[in-house]
Structure 1
Amino acid sequence: MRTALTIAGSDSSGGAGIQADIKTMMANGVFAMSAITALTAQNTTGVSAIMDATPEFLEAELDEVFTDIFPDAVKIGMVSESSLIESIAKKLHQYKPKHIVVDPVMVATSGAKLISDDAVATLKKELLPVAEVITPNIPESEVLSGMKIESEQDMETAASAIVKKYGCAVLCKGGHSLNDSNDLLVSADGSKKHWFYGRRIDNPNTHGTGCTLSSAIASNLAKGYDLETSIARAKDYISGALAAMLDLGHGHGPMNHAFDQHGKFMESNIDD
């Protein structure tokens, strides 16, 4: 069984962060491990509190994983403080995992800010250059490229600028009212552009979509698929999770990560 490690914050409501990553990884056929960067008190309506791990504890978490069950792929999500980003970069340089996917999480679906300004600068300096691919949404791509994105041509220009700055492949995610969930991949050397066309699913419950997509990409890379195939499979998975139309909570609810799981252990004795 292939393995994947998520380095991210915990979501107490279970829809995003570490919890979404683990659900996604297991649903995509890999053994999931985690190193928690922060505890968050949150639900579908917002984030009320964040408690960061210490750099020393985060490094201990990473050492225990890498020295025992070495991950075939690593996904990095929410890291809110510069010192924690530096600890992650230190351990990535030490252990050199083959596949690194960075979801540069800056703002939650609910609109809550999840990362400090100085941490953004450290993220750009320390983590983006070691990534195989990063998966920014439109607002995050605007921060990383320094330009406003209002069209698909703008997406191409911004993604190319990000590649040139940081030397990693970029999956610039559409959505955010820009297009029908069409995503653009620009290769790490800037020579290839590939559009992944999708359909917008009429479901307001999108809590954890970014976490889920990046974790699914990492899972497929861990299983030996190339980057384009991994992204295509991840997009198919997230479309299915959204189309299942799970409706929980009072805000932007979670997706059904187990939409494609069948068998007797999934059976319920509840009469609707």
Structure 2
Amino acid sequence: MKHVLTIAGSDSSGGAGIQADLKTFSALGVYGMSVITAITAQNTLGVQAVEDVSPTLVEAQLNSIFSDIRVDAVKIGMVSNEKTIQVIAKCLKHYKGPVVLDPVMVAKGGHALLKEHAEQALMEHLMPLATVTTPNIPEMERMLGQAISTVDEMKLATTEFAQKRDIAILLKGGHLESIDASDILYTEGMYHLFQEARLKRQHTHGTGCTLSSAIAAHLALGDSLIDSVTYAKRYVTEAIRYGFALGNGIGPTHHFYGLWRETDVYNHS
């Protein structure tokens, strides 16, 4: 069995963060491990509080894993402060396996999850180590300093940012007002368009975490980057299709939709 490590924050409602990552790993047949960088108090209505785990403890968690267990891929999610970013970069500097970086900056409800002074550290220290970085449109707009409102603008922004930093970028287009859900991958001098029919579903909490974790799982299984993105996008699309209500706000995607049978009781509409 392949082993995949997630380095991210905890979501007390279970729909995103560490919890979504581990569910995704299990659903895709890899063994999940975790290094927790922050603890959030959140539910389907939003994030109420965030407390960082100390960089010292983050480093201790990383050392515990790497000193004992083979790691076949790494996914990095919420890392909210500069010191933690530096610790992660130091620990991964000599790691040779695939790394998927999801630059989590703002929660779906608008709560900032990455301190402003840490954005530059993330771009300078973690992006160069990543096999692919997976921002959504608001995150790319923030990093690039310009608005993105069409698929053509997505292509230009992805190409410009990737070439400037000599990295691979998967720009997620879920925030666009369009018929299809379009993502753009730029790697090795070319961009690739991934499209699925846009699903009109309310319950989409944790989609970004789930996609990046699915990509990491497939990379660990030996799939190419392009194939990993293809399979991950299909997985997320179906997880959104079967998303369900939980609490009074935006519910989670269904990570284990493949293990559940539809019944009269289970309604995913």
Which bin holds the TM-score, normalised by the shorter protein? over 0.9
Q: Which residue matches 2:129?
A: 130
State the aligned residue count: 265
3-state SS, counterpart of residue 197 of structure 1: strand
Alpha-carbon shift at residue 192 of structure 1 (Å) = 1.0
Give the corresponding residue for 2:205.
Answer: 207
Structure-to-structure mapping, 1:1-272, within 5 angstroms: 1-94=1-94, 96-179=95-178, 180-187=180-187, 189=188, 191-261=189-259
Residue by residue over 1:181-240, the C-alpha shift from the partner in whole angstroms, topping out at 9 and shown as x without a partner, is 1100000x4x21110011111111111000000000000000000001101110111111
5+ residue gaps, structure 2: none
Give the distance between the partners of 1:271 and 1:27, measured in 2 at CA: 19
Q: Deviations over 1:63-102 (max 9, x none)?
A: 11111112100000001101000100000014x1410000
CA contact (8 A) 1:181 1:200 kept: yes
Does structure 2 retain, via aligned residues, the 8 Å contact 1:110–1:252? no
Percent of aligned pairs with the same amino acid: 47
Does the 8 A contact of 1:109 with 1:206 survive in 2?
no
SS at match of 1:39: strand
Contact 1:73/1:97 (CA < 8 Å) preserved in 2?
A: no
2:150/2:176 contact within 8 Å kept = no
TM-score, normalising length from structure 2?
Answer: 0.94
Distance 2:2 2:149 in 1: 39
- In 1, distance between residues paired with 2:266 and 2:90? 52
Q: Which amino acid aligns with 2:195?
A: Y
CA distance in 2, matches of 1:154, 1:129: 24
Across the aligned residues of Structure 1 and Structure 2, the Cα RMSD in angstroms comes to 1.8
| CA distance in structure 2 between the partners assigned to 1:249 and 1:161 by the alignment | 41
- Post-superposition shift, 1:175? 1.6
Shift of residue 271, structure 1, vs aligned partner: 10
The TM-score, its normalising length taken from structure 1, stands at: 0.93
Which AA in structure 2 matches 1:135? Answer: T
* Maintained 8 Å contact 1:9/1:17: yes
Q: CA deviation at 1:248?
A: 1.1
Distance (Å, rounded) in 2 between the aligned partners of 1:16 and 1:4: 17
Task: Give the match's secondary structure for 2:208.
Answer: helix
Structure 1's unaligned 5+ residue stretches are none
Distance 1:97 1:42, change over 3 A: farther
The one-letter code of the counterpart of 1:54 is S
Match of 2:93, SS state, is helix
User: For 2:197, what is the secondary structure of its paired residue?
Assistant: coil
